[in-house]
């Protein structure tokens, strides 16, 4: 079984602390592989290292914007970390790119508390008819 298969098995079993050194080695060997960065974020999320997970997911997204779920998972990690500033920055960028994104962000219950903050309220005022 190769290192990636070992890692995936450990994560499937929710053995994140055992999987961490494996995914770190995978990323170290080739940091420009988006799926490796994504898998790193999954492991870090499992360890509740939300700030680090957000960075890994954002890296995955920057390497491959079409990688399904990377930006969304970054936003969830930022919310879990309480990083309202970075979360608002991403929401704003995504709404500029596609104004309909505001509805998706509003529907996610894990973002609910942020909509009470001034910057988020202004985003609603700008993008919700």
pLDDT tens digits along 51-95 = 999 999 999 999 999 987 999 999 999 999 999 999 999 999 999
How many domains, in total, are found in the chain? 2
Q: Assign 2 a pLDDT band (cuts: 50, 70, 90).
A: very high
Domain holding 106, by residue range, is: 83-129
Q: Record the pTM.
A: 0.93
71 and 124 share a domain? Answer: no
What are the C-alpha distances in Å from 127 to residues 18, 45, 96, 97, 115? 44, 30, 9, 12, 13
Q: Report angle CA 39, 44, 45 to the nearest 5 degrees.
A: 95
75 and 87 share a domain? Answer: no
**Domain CATH code at residue 42:** 1.25.40.10
Q: How far apart are CA 23 and CA 9, in angstroms?
A: 12
Q: Assign 1 a pLDDT band (cuts: 50, 70, 90).
A: confident
Query: Mean per-residue pLDDT for 36-40?
Result: 97
**Model pLDDT for residues 8-36, shown as the tens digit of each residue:** 999 999 999 999 999 999 999 999 999 99
68 and 96 share a domain? Answer: no
5 and 61 share a domain? Answer: yes
What are the C-alpha distances in Å from 99 to residues 34, 96, 123? 26, 6, 10
pLDDT at residue 118, rounded to an integer: 96
77 and 92 share a domain? Answer: no
41 and 94 share a domain? Answer: no
77 and 89 share a domain? Answer: no
């Amino acid at each position: 079984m190769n290192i990636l298969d070992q890692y995936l098995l450990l994560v499937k079993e929710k053995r994140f602390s055992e999987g961490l050194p494996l995914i770190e080695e995978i990323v170290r060997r080739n940091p420009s592989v988006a799926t490796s960065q994504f898998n790193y974020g999954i492991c870090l999320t499992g360890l509740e290292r939300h700030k680090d997970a957000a960075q890994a997911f954002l890296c995955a997204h920057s390497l491959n914007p079409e990688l399904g779920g990377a930006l969304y998972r970054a936003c969830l990690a930022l919310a879990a970390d309480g990083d309202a500033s970075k979360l608002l920055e991403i929401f704003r960028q995504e709404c500029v790119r596609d104004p309909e994104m505001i509805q998706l962000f509003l529907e996610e219950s894990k973002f609910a508390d942020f909509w009470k903050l001034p910057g988020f309220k202004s985003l609603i005022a700008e993008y919700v008819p």
